[in-house]
Chain A
Amino acid sequence: MILALLAFLLLPSSGLAAPCAKPDASSVFQSWSAENKAWQSSGDQICQEGTVESKAAVALAFLRDFPVGPARPDDFDTGHIGDSPFTFFQERIHTIYFDPLSEPQCDSFTVAYVSDAASRSLHICPYANSFSSLVMSSILMHESRHVEGYPHRTCLQGALLGSFSCDDSYAEGGAYGIEQEFLVRTARNEGLGEPVREEAKAEAIAGFLNRFNQAPLGARQGILLLDPAGTLTYFDGATALPLMQNIPPESVVVLRDLPALFEPSTGQVKSFTGGDSLVDTPGPFAAEFRALSAARRAELLDVVYGDISCFLFTQSLHCEQGNESVDLDLPANLQPQQFLRLTDSISQIFFIVGQDGKKYSLPFQLDLNAWKASEIVPSDSVGLAPFRDFTLMPDGRRYALTFDGTLMAYGTSDWAPVPAFAGKKFRHLMAPFLWSGRLGEI
C-alpha cells in the first residue's frame, strides 16, 4: 500500500510544478517588466513552501508554461484570453503586492484585489494560500480582467444568489468569464496532466452553474404549466416549450426536480426525464402510491412531493417525512380541492385549499406524530386569496395561477396576465424548473 503511494508520488503529472529552486523562481519573472519591484522584494518567500508568495509563483509559472494547444473556439472557449494566459495577465498587471492581513482591504475572506486599475496593481492576500495552485492561477486571470473594468454583478441564480459575485453572461468575457475560459482551456489541454485537467473541469462546471446569470446550454429557471388538454409546457419567461402531451385529466402532476405523474386510474407513477417516453418513478413515496387500493386512489385530489410528501384525499390527508408518516381525517368543515404550493428555489410550503376558497394551514411541526387534525385551520396570513399556485423564482420573478386558470406575473407593482398566454387557461403551475431544449437532447 505504502509502496503504491510512493510510486504515485514521484510521478510528474499535474503540470503545476513548484519553482522551488531560486533560478527557477526568478525565471518566472524573467520577462516581467522592471516595474515589478514587489516581486523582487518577496524573492525569499517565493521559494519558501507554504507561503502565499510561493503559491502565487507556482500559479504564475503555470500560466507562463501553459502549453499552446490547437484553437478550438466555441461557446465555451470564447478566445478572450488569446494564445497565452501569461501574456494576458502580464499585459494587465504590472505590479503585484503581497498584503498582510493587517491591510484593511485584505481581510480574512479576501483572496486578491485590484486597488487601482490605472496603476495595474494586484494585491494578493494571505487567504489566497488556502486554494489549490490551479484555482490560484484562475484567480490571477480573474483579477487581471478587473484592470479593464468588468465589475461583478449580483448573482440572480445559483449558490451565490444575491451576492455580488457573478457576471451577467459568460460570453461577455468579464472577470469570471476570463477565469472560466482559462479553466475550460486547462481542462481541454492535452498537454497537461490528468489531475489538473480533472480539477479544472470540475471548477469550470461549478463556475458555469454558479457564476453567470445566464446558465450554459440555454438552461434557464422557468415554470411548468399544465393545461386542460393535458399538455405540460415549460416557459422561461420568453419562450414556451411543450414537454409532454396527452396527460390524462385525472393525473396529478407534481414537480420535484422532475415532473412526475401520479395516475389514479392505473396506479402508475411516471417521471419525465427529457426523452420521448416516461419512466417509472423510483422511491418509497411512488411505491406507496402504487400500493394503494383502486378505491383509495380514486379519492386522490392532489400530491405534494418534497421534504414532506403528502397525498390529499377527499376526506383525509396522508403525509410522510423520512421514516415517519401521519394520517389525519380532515375537519368536517373542510371540503378540500387541492394543495396551494408556495415555492421558491429551496423550499415549498403548502396549504389545503377548500371548496369555500379558504386556505387551510397545516400543522408543520417537525414531528409528524404531533400533527393534529384540529390544527388544520383557515389561515388569514396567506395573502394570496386569488391564487391556486404561486412561485417565487430564484431571480425574483413571481408567477401565479388564478382559480380560473389564468397565468399571472408580478410586474413592478402589480399582478397582470402573461401576454404570451392570453386567453389560455391552465390547471396547474409548478416551479422552478431548470431546463432548455438542449438539455433534453443530452
Chain B
Amino acid sequence: MKARNQLGVGIVGLLALLVVLRAGGNFAPPSPVAHRLGQTVAAFPPRAQGPAPSKDALNREAALRLSSSDLIALTSRALDPAVSGDLRSAAIYLLVHADPALAVPELARLATAPLPEKYTPFSLTFEIGARIRAVAALDQLAATGHPAATAAVAKVAESVKEPSLRFLAQLSWQGILAHQPGRASRYIDQMIARGGAQ
C-alpha cells in the first residue's frame, strides 16, 4: 500500500499535476506521457447519462479520492521551493479539495509551515499565498462545522508568526468564537469574490 501510494504521488502524481496545468485551453499536450495516460483513462467506466460535469467538478471529484499518504506527499511538494511553482500550486488545489477528514491535518501543516529563511519579495508573497490557501480552506471547513477544522484554526491562529497569516487566522478564530465562523473567508470575499461597492 505504501509503495503504491509513493508511486502514485511520486511519479504519476507529479506527472498528473504537471499535465493538469498544461492540458486544455488552446494548446493540446502532445507528449507521449499524455498519450499513455489517455489510454489509461479510456479504461474508465462510462459515466451515467446526463449533463456533463464541469471540469472543476471533475477536478474536485478526483481530489476527493486521494488517500492520506497522498495528501502527506502533496503537502511536502507544496512546501518544497525546489518544486516548480505550477506543481506546488496544483498540489495545494488538490489538498484544499480533498476529503476534509484526511486533509485537515495537512492543511494545518501547510498553514503553519515556517516560511523559507531565504526569500525575495516575490517569492515571499508566493509562499504566503500558498499558506493563505490553507488558512482559507480551514476557515471554510470550520464554517461547515467540521470539528477538526475548528481545532486546526485555533492551532494555526495561535502558532503562526507571519503577520498577514496570523491576521487571517485570527479573523477565522474570532469568527468561530463569535459563533460566526467563516470570517476569514468573508474578509477575502469582500475583496475578491463579491466586489461591488466597497
Chain A residues proximal to chain B, CB less than 8 Å: 1-21, 24, 50, 61, 65, 72, 74-77, 109-111, 127, 129-136, 139, 157-160, 163, 165, 184, 187-188, 193-195, 198-199, 201-211, 216-217, 257-258, 271, 273-275, 279-283, 345-346, 394, 434, 438-439, 442
Contacts and interface: CB of A to CB of B under 8 A. Distances in A.
B197 interface: yes
A274 B34 CA distance: 52
A19 B191 contact: no
A24 B26 contact: yes
Given A5-B16, A8-B62, A9-B19, A131 B126 contact: yes
Nearest to A27: B26
Contacts of A211: 125
A201 B195 CA distance: 12
B178 A273 contact: yes
7 contacts: A3-B40, A3-B41, A7-B44, A11-B20, A61-B26, A210-B125, A442-B186
A193 B120 CA distance: 28
Contacts of A3: 40-41, 44
A195 B93 contact: yes
Given A188-B192, A193-B59, A201-B188, 12 more contacts: A3-B40, A3-B41, A11-B23, A13-B23, A17-B24, A77-B195, A160-B121, A195-B93, A202-B136, A217-B191, A258-B170, A271-B177
A1 B16 CA distance: 12
Contacts of A187: 192-193
A199 B137 CA distance: 12
Nearest to A25: B27
A204 to B, nearest CB: 6
Contacts of A134: 89
A74 B196 contact: yes
B191 to A, nearest CB: 5
Given A20-B30, A258-B170, A275-B178, A184 B192 contact: yes
A159 B12 CA distance: 36
Q: Which of B27, B38, B81 has the most CB of A within 10 A?
A: B27
Contacts of A195: 20-21, 59, 89-90, 93
Contacts of B41: 3, 6-7, 10
Contact of A135 (B30, B66, B81, B126): B126
Given A10-B38, A282-B177, A1 B163 contact: no
A207 B192 contact: no
B77 interface: no
Q: Which of A9, A77, A211, A394 has the most CB of B within 10 A?
A: A9
B195 A72 contact: yes
Q: Which of B20, B92, B129 has the most CB of A within 10 A?
A: B129
Contacts of B89: 132, 134, 195, 199
A203 B59 contact: no
Interface string B35-51: 00110110010000000
